[in-house]
Structure 1
């Protein structure tokens, strides 16, 4: 297990933002995605910790951090990231999935950020991100059917091709077993699945906002994998076209979970080069 220390700060609305720290050197923030917490980026953090002080927050609603709050939205998330930048002194930020959306939006208005790396932000372009599964997901969450809701989300988002091939009747029991196996995780699956509704809110709120980033000042590194769904490649295509100085890199054989359980050292090698440039 990777050793780390913990710290916290407060966002503009008073919400506690807890984060893990490891390594030494210039500060880097790693922002996790949906149905995740800081625990999911610790392999990536460990791989970067030889050159950087790596700070891995639990985004609000998870782990060491406070609740989402009644007025949750991208404004709260950008306030959170700004507070973390000010507290840690990080000028480099990596975001995965919805964490990449937060990173991208925050780079518009957060002084001090000079480099961002974005791994497959689900930026919807003319309705490209599939959301037709959300009503069923919401009903299952309301009925406390966590495994069913997880299966609905995985099939709807098509993040992992293997899950798409498994019949739903078989997938739901598998999700139940998986949740039991990870019940000792810092933030277990049953606590993470309901948070996805808030990440969906970000996707909806930021749909078709790619033109907003045409004059983005920080250096930008769009990242993705060859096995990820087409709508994530669409988002990267749009951002790479919109942001003139963006340098795009595609990892052969990796999917959406590349920075998590795909090949964190490989992703870290690219991030190290970009952040030290």
Structure 2
């Protein structure tokens, strides 16, 4: 796998907001949309693995890195408009999305006929959005008083990301562990790294997206794009029922479940993905490459 040579550029979304992206590779365009607590640079390994066959675009979703801020009324429609701006600039008919980014790519495929093939890794489509609206209130209050670690703990349970052993720990201990993790990442961060502390405010928009798309499975029957639907057997348990439902609803769907892979297995190691594996990224990229090349 060769190191990606990344260039930068921007496009303007429908509401005038600048959306920045990195670009690498050669061949037909593929847009890669990152997930929660990530940025465009979270999928450089995936981009490297695709770059021999495709020109890969890595946009920063709003609130991160090269892109402008969230709107007060931020919604899935805003995210689709941002993605459409990048797709148009790239001339892309293929897109890959992870988690909340995967949900946005799927919604875009429903609205944008130009998307011919999409690959999704654990898209954040759930049956019931009410639990997400409930925890967002507490999360907002914690961030408003500067309690980043507390907000991240709240979101971890809200997104059902907490492993079983953490669920029995006192909340105060979890906050202290999270603060130490944030501090360690900041000490080790290289210049230009977007840290978890910087990304924490973006969690609100992720929660609203998950809540807004919850229970919308039937609407995706109209998706004409071919879909590669992927996940891991050790991924987020709350997202597996959604994949099962989508596999029966999407008209042109191929599903793959990777044994032992978790929710972050398509992303670079680091940050919220400390156990990430380059080998796992390579395996996922191999499937994505074969699908997009068909």
Instruction: Calculate the TM-score normalised by the size of structure 1.
Output: 0.93
How far did 1:152 drift?
1.9
1:266 paired with 2:270, answer no
Deviates more, 1:14-23 or 1:200-209: 200-209
Residue 135 of structure 1: aligned partner: 137
Residue 267 of structure 1 and its aligned partner are, at CA, apart by: 1.0
Which residue matches 2:273?
none
The residue that corresponds to 2:242 in the other structure is 235
Q: Which residue of 2 aligns with 1:151?
A: 153
Find the residue that maps to 1:249 and give its secondary structure: strand
Match of 2:121 among 119, 128, 135: 119
Give the Cα separation in 1 of the matches to 2:251 and 2:73: 34
Instruction: Name which of structure 1's ranges 124-133 and 44-53 shifts more when overlaid on structure 2.
Output: 124-133
Q: d(CA) in 2 for partners of 1:198 and 1:47?
A: 30
Deviation at 1:181, TM superposition (A): 2.9
Distance 1:257 1:165, change over 3 A: farther
- Equivalent residue of 2:223, what SS? coil
Which of 196, 201, 209 aligns to 1:189? It is 196
Q: 1:201 maps to what in 2? A: 208
SS at 2:110 equivalent: coil
Give 1:127 deviation, angstroms. Answer: 5.1
Match of 2:108 in 1: 106
Cα distance 1:164–1:37, how it changes in 2: closer, same or farther (>3 A)? farther
Partner of 1:174: 177
Task: Give, in angstroms, the shift of residue 53 of structure 1.
Answer: 0.9
- Residue 83 of structure 1 aligns to a residue in which SS? helix
The residue that corresponds to 2:85 in the other structure is 83
1:254 corresponds to: 261
Does the C-alpha gap of structure 1 residues 165 and 25 become closer, same or farther in structure 2, counting only changes over 3 Å? farther
Could you say if the C-alpha distance between residues 127 and 200 of structure 1 is closer, same or farther in structure 2, counting changes exceeding 3 Å? Answer: closer
Alignment match, 2:99:
97
Alpha-carbon separation, structure 2, partners of 1:220 and 1:212:
15
- Identify the residue that residue 32 of structure 1 maps to in structure 2: 34
CA RMSD of aligned residues (A): 1.9
User: 1:165: Cα distance to partner?
Assistant: 6.0
Change (3 A) 1:203 1:127: closer
1:124 CA drift (Å): 1.8
State the aligned residue count: 277
Could you say what secondary structure the match of 1:61 adopts?
Answer: coil
TM-score for both structures, normalised by structure 2: 0.88
Per-residue deviation at 1:57?
0.4
Moved more, 66-75 or 195-204: 66-75
Q: What residue ranges of structure 2 are gaps of 5+ in the alignment?
A: 270-275
Q: Any conservation in 1 of the 2:160–2:238 contact (CA below 8 Å)? A: no
Residues 251, 130 of structure 1: alpha-carbon distance in 2 compared, 3 angstrom cutoff: farther
Farther off after superposition, 178-187 or 87-96: 178-187
SS in 2 for 1:123: coil
